[in-house]
Structure 1
Amino acid sequence: MKLKGIHKVKRRLASGEIRIHYYAWRGGPEMQAAPNTEAFAAELLKHRAESAPAEVKTLDDLIDAFEQSPAFSALAEKTQDGHKHSFREIRKEWPKLPLKLTQQRGMKAMIRKWHHTFAANPRKADQMLFSLSRVFTFGIDEEMIEKNPCTGIDRLYTGSRKESVWTPELIALFREKAAPHMLLAFEMAIHTGQRQGDLLLLTWKQYDGTHLSFEQGKTKKRVRVRVHSKLKAMLDALPKDKMRILTNSRGRPWTKDGFKTSWGKECARLKIEGVTFHDLRGTFITERRREGSTTEQIASITGHSIAEVGRVLEKHYLATDQQTSDAVILRMEKNI
């Protein structure tokens, strides 16, 4: 059976051998039994039973139980950080709220009112609503409560990045004037459509000269992307004496905050505004669709579901894509 939430860490021994260590969850106890055995499954069950909270009486207790659970440990670090920030606000609003009261009539109205107090910052408001809803969903899964009072509450943020794609002019500007270590990150993103976090963690072992292999941190999906000839020329010309492919100006691995800061400074220096590094992912999707690739083909590279690619194209990027709409008429003229 497939066991969820297991955390694997690869370590290189002094002999050069690579050994994989298994943990019951991220930050949890190390597993002693051999993987893929009944003993391993039994040991995991024992660790999870021991980590389960003895009693959950309040919303605070439910949040504590979620934060200590394998379900929370399995989340990406960025997602965990977002939840933790939200939980601080939620605890301030409802300190020691009896859990049974969250199941009674009127709780949804209270949550909706609280949600709207953050209307000045709708994205923050929706993040906190999402975190609270996730806690209640955990409670339902663990049979601590029966319903999620957040269900049916509309989100406040309605904006989109439908016009926030990198134009040919911006792409040409970055390629002409960006620092080499920033340009490599740019080319990796625009040629693969992968997320920033997955690109920063990419090692040379994941490149076989033809393809780049990813295990996406957010979705845990495995994707294999054929390297474009232009990107291949860049990669093949680089020294392979570092573990990571992308490094900073000092040849050291990027930290998440370090890259974010350096990227912002580089865009400011080049006077590039209105687009982000993440928009390179949307630009990849848009350009591949313009070229004629299907949503299925795009999804196989980006790691989205087919439905998600369709939503990205419809809601965020192609809604105001003049080139795409013009192409319809141009094709019509050829057939008349």
Structure 2
Amino acid sequence: MSASGRPLLKPNTVKTYKPALRRLEEWAGKHPVAFVTAARVTALRKAVARPIADGGLGHAGAHHLLKTLRLVMAFAESEDIIPKGSNPATSFGLGAPPSRKVIWTPEDDAAFDAAAYDLGLPSMALARELALFTAQRESDLIAFTEGQLTELEIFDRGTRELLAGEDGKVMGWTFAQEKTSDDDADTWMEIPIEPKLLVKVNAALRRNRARDRAAEPRRLLSYVIVDEDNDGIPFNERRFIRRWNKVIDHAVKTTGRKSMENLVWHDLRRTRVVRLRRRKMPKEMIASITGHSLAAIEAMLKVYGPVDPTITAAAIASSLDTPAATPIADEQEKSA
């Protein structure tokens, strides 16, 4: 807490660090801070940096755990619990993992949805589609209620006609996107939902509303994404990830697509950014959809931009001395 009583960390930041802090607490036990020596940090690194299959946390998980330990010990320094300059985790001997480069393919999309319906979990298929369309975090999406689906004021006539439903209204998902950094203000998002996807959202709300009203006690607020394995109640994040992994496992089992084992929710946000960029959408427009900062968008595109086939094709086409003839042009020349 700050001197004014305001939390120093955003709730999402707290959730990010909580698992690592819990592991560190189990590791250190009731020992005083002096127990954490450079030698013990090295021993911890060797134990957790092993592959997950061998009982470790893997490179990324181990790096996050040790980075959290470094932050904890830096706090101990700042509070004079340990001497200044004595942080044993300052250099823990494990470099940052490489940037994650996984994106979803259309085949992954189809396999996931088929697995979700096969398991009787249509909400998970809708969650994937909404995630890819809106590029939002799972914490925001599982909190999507009927009250957040509102009519948007779109003044450009052409845009409004493209996005309007049969009733002529443009409906969208409105919510405050909470930032993990205390330096950034929460962003108010208003994301229009295109008509075909809106039909699915409304159908889900009708199903969920009927289930909610029949529940005992009655549930008066309906959510778009619910847990069909648990009487259609709203998800918390831990339960949502369990269902997500269940669908991924089923998709791998039924399709043989072993590569899907590496897919996580956050990859959908990155996939949306990459697919939009391949449509030559400006970075500023992409950021207005996702809520990312321009710096974050640029960081993603720095990884994918150089190998983007659309950009590569445009570069090759512009390098040709004579534009390649098209079949249509050939036919017109013959008929002349």
What TM-score bracket applies, with the shorter chain setting the length?
0.5 to 0.7
Residue 242 of structure 2 aligns with an amino acid whose one-letter code is T
User: Which one of the candidate residues 25, 38, 45 is aligned to 1:115?
Assistant: 45
Is 1:290 paired with 2:281? no
User: Which one of the candidate residues 95, 110, 114 is aligned to 1:156?
Assistant: 95
Partner SS, residue 191 of structure 2: strand
Q: Counterparts of 2:321 and 2:176 in 1: how far apart (Å)?
A: 44
- If the length of structure 2 is used for normalisation, what is the TM-score? 0.64
Number of equivalent positions? 264
Partner of 1:97: 33
Deviations 1:164-207 (A, max 9, x none): 21112222344556422222111110100011121111222222
Shift, 1:253, TM fit: 0.8
Most deviating of 211-220 and 285-294: 211-220
Contact 1:194–1:302, Cα closer than 8 Å, also in 2: yes
Contact 2:113–2:124, Cα closer than 8 Å, also in 1: no
Partner of 2:250: 269
Residue 192 of structure 1 aligns with an amino acid whose one-letter code is T
Q: Counterparts of 1:143 and 1:318 in 2: how far apart (Å)?
A: 47
1:1-336 → structure 2 map (5 Å cutoff): 45=4, 48=5, 70-72=7-9, 74-76=11-13, 78-88=15-25, 91-92=28-29, 95-98=31-34, 111=41, 114-120=44-50, 121-139=58-76, 149=87, 150-151=89-90, 155-162=94-101, 164-175=102-113, 178-179=116-117, 180-209=122-151, 210-219=171-180, 221-222=186-187, 223-237=189-203, 238-239=205-206, 241=209, 242-249=221-228, 250-271=231-252, 272=257, 273=260, 274-315=262-303, 317-318=304-305, 320-333=307-320, 336=323
Partner SS, residue 174 of structure 2: strand
Greater relative CO, 1 or 2 (CA 8 Å, sep 6+)? 2
Residues 221, 113 of structure 1: alpha-carbon distance in 2 compared, 3 angstrom cutoff: same
Shift, 1:232, TM fit: 1.9
Shift, 1:310, TM fit: 1.5
Shift, 1:226, TM fit: 2.3
Q: Counterparts of 1:75 and 1:206 in 2: how far apart (Å)?
A: 20
**Structure 1 regions of 5+ residues with no counterpart?**
6-43, 49-68
**% same residue:** 27
Q: Counterparts of 1:95 and 1:321 in 2: how far apart (Å)?
A: 52
Partner SS, residue 88 of structure 1: helix
Shift, 1:208, TM fit: 0.7
Residue 300 of structure 1 aligns with an amino acid whose one-letter code is S
Q: Counterparts of 1:334 and 1:192 in 2: how far apart (Å)?
A: 41
Q: Counterparts of 2:27 and 2:306 in 1: how far apart (Å)?
A: 36
Residues 314, 148 of structure 1: alpha-carbon distance in 2 compared, 3 angstrom cutoff: farther
**Structure 2 regions of 5+ residues with no counterpart?**
51-57, 152-170, 210-220, 324-336
Contact 1:123–1:156, Cα closer than 8 Å, also in 2: no
Shift, 1:155, TM fit: 4.0
Shift, 1:117, TM fit: 4.7
- If the length of structure 1 is used for normalisation, what is the TM-score? 0.64
Residues 322, 282 of structure 1: alpha-carbon distance in 2 compared, 3 angstrom cutoff: same
Shift, 1:128, TM fit: 1.8
Contact 2:145–2:222, Cα closer than 8 Å, also in 1: yes
Residues 268, 292 of structure 1: alpha-carbon distance in 2 compared, 3 angstrom cutoff: same
Residues 86, 332 of structure 1: alpha-carbon distance in 2 compared, 3 angstrom cutoff: farther
